[in-house]
Amino acid sequence: MALLITEYRSERLTPVRAALSMLTDPLKYLVDLPISLFENASNALTSYDTLKTENAHLHEEQLIHKTQLLKFEALEKENIRLRALLENSFKLGEQVLIAELLSIKLAPYEHIMVVNKGTRFGVHSQQPVLDANGVVGQVFRALPFSSEIMLITDPNHAIPVQVNRNGLLTIAVGSGIVNQLNLPYLPNNADIQPGDLLITSGLGGTFPAGYPVGIVDDFPQTSNKSITHITATPKALLDRNRELLIVWSNSTLLPLTAPAIKTSAPHE
């Protein structure tokens, strides 16, 4: 039995775990069943009026987004051109998969959630997970029919972030409390204010750069900031969302400069 624990460290037992999860995963779906049935039923029973107002609301929202996207496309092209001028590389677009949360609870002292997509859909561990508002966490363990997601608020989770206003780099560590992140690694004279937006910096390689993570909470403005404890609130609705996005960020950079293309050509 002690052998099992030591052998776990070498990751050699992953296939065994995958095989055994075939037995246990039906249980996860079984526990989730009454809740999802109830939700489906309440969806089916919503009145015509609420649907109509919701539809109008969504139409309006889509119109706003579309006009914003018009500008975005031009900006993206411009960005690529500018990066080409700087002989830099440009990151390829990311591919996403929508996964639904299973309402089960593994351990109350950990912030780990289970979703209904696993290695069958190509999910692998350490993939970033987002929702419509920001970063949720990363895939912690992928099983054939489900996968475990560690939230950014888990006490064992840290995410490299950047202050959007001035590019200050730091690390946001999970606090173990829902809707709170700690920023412990800030120097005394750091230029950070309440209300600053934190975005992923892309350092560390797990999370793609530029996604919103959280907003810095209020803290007392004193001359000696090291005493005050700076915290942030995650942008993502960690405890309310049922749909999450699992992201494949392409780690290979697309070369844009002329010499880079030439060197890659003979390979083909």
7 lies in the site for another protein, by CB under 8 A: yes
User: Dihedrals φ, ψ of 53, to 5°?
Assistant: -65, -40
How far is residue 213's CA from residue 231's CA, in Å, rounded to a whole number? 12
227 lies in the site for another protein, by CB under 8 A: no
- Given 117, 135, 148, 182, the residue binding another protein (CB under 8 A): 148
- Given 23, 44, 45, 258, the residue binding another protein (CB under 8 A): 23
108 lies in the site for another protein, by CB under 8 A: yes
Q: In the complex, what is the shortest distance from the CB of residue 198 to another protein, in angstroms, rounded to a whole number?
A: 23
Q: In the complex, what is the shortest distance from the CB of residue 13 to another protein, in angstroms, rounded to a whole number?
A: 5
Strands 197-200 and 243-248: unpaired
- Given 82, 85, 86, 106, the residue binding another protein (CB under 8 A): 106
Q: Which residues of 233-252 are buried (b: 16+ CB within 10 A; e: fewer)?
A: ebbbebeebeebbbbebeee
Strand ranges (E), 7-134: 89-90, 95-102, 112-115, 128-130
39 lies in the site for another protein, by CB under 8 A: no
Give the x-and-dash track for 159-198 against another protein (CB under 8 A): -----------------x----------------------
Q: What angle do CA 29, 31, 35 make, to 5 degrees?
A: 95
229 lies in the site for another protein, by CB under 8 A: no
Nearer to another protein, 140 or 207 (CB): 140
Q: In the complex, what is the shortest distance from the CB of residue 72 to another protein, in angstroms, rounded to a whole number?
A: 38
Residues 6+ apart with CB under 8 A from 83: 89, 90, 256
How far is residue 149's CA from residue 160's CA, in Å, rounded to a whole number? 18
With H, G, I as helix, E, B as strand and everything else as coil, classify residue 112. Answer: strand
Give the binding site for another protein (CB under 8 A). Answer: 1-2, 4-5, 7-8, 13, 16-17, 20-21, 23-24, 27-28, 30-32, 35, 103-109, 112, 140-141, 148, 155-156, 176
